Amino acid sequence: MNIYFNEITLQTGEGIQIYNLMESLTEEVTKSGIKEGMVNIISRHTTTALAVNEYEPRLLDDLRLFFKEIASPERPYKHNDIHLRDCPSDEPKNAHSHILAMLLSSHESVPLVNGCLSLGTWQSVLLFELDGPRQRKVAVQIIGK
């Protein structure tokens, strides 16, 4: 069995943004030389999330609207009381981003078959930026042979 590890780094845009990681993940699979196994992906941040779903512009717009409805940035959150917390004074007011990240997931695992991620026709691995813009890292571990 072989184990390959690397990180994908990307600069995200403002607010809630959704990125398709398939091109980067395919590159990592190729670099690993592993043909059969499992690809484990984890976000390194508490205000980002990962999901397997369709990368379709109108669906992405629907998701952004839905996220703002269930965790509006305008709501009063205790986490946003920066003056009452032990943190830098320039800490962002981002409780809504943490809540959304917990409702989604920080990781995904995808089978690797014949050197390809085994996903359905319309499925992609998506990174959800919930508090951008920021530089983000996604760890990729590929285990197999």
- pLDDT one-digit tens code per residue, 2-11: 999 999 999 9
Distance CA 69, CA 131 (A): 16
**In CATH, what number is assigned to the domain containing residue 70?**
2.60.120.460
Considering Cα of 41, then 145, then 121, then 57, what sign does the dihedral take? positive
- Which whole number is the average pLDDT over 42-53? 98
Residue 25's pLDDT is 98
Q: Report strand pairing: 116-117 vs 107-113.
A: antiparallel
**The total number of structural domains that make up the chain:** 1
Domain that holds residue 65: 2-144
Give the Cα-Cα-Cα angle 67, 17, 131 (nearest 5 degrees): 75
The fraction of the chain above a pLDDT of 70, given in percent, is: 100
Q: How many Cβ atoms are within 10 Å of 43's Cβ, its own excluded?
A: 22
Q: Is the pLDDT of residue 142 over 90?
A: yes
Q: Is the pLDDT of residue 90 over 90?
A: no
Q: Is the pLDDT of residue 141 over 90?
A: yes
Residue 42's pLDDT is 98
Q: Is the pLDDT of residue 89 over 90?
A: no
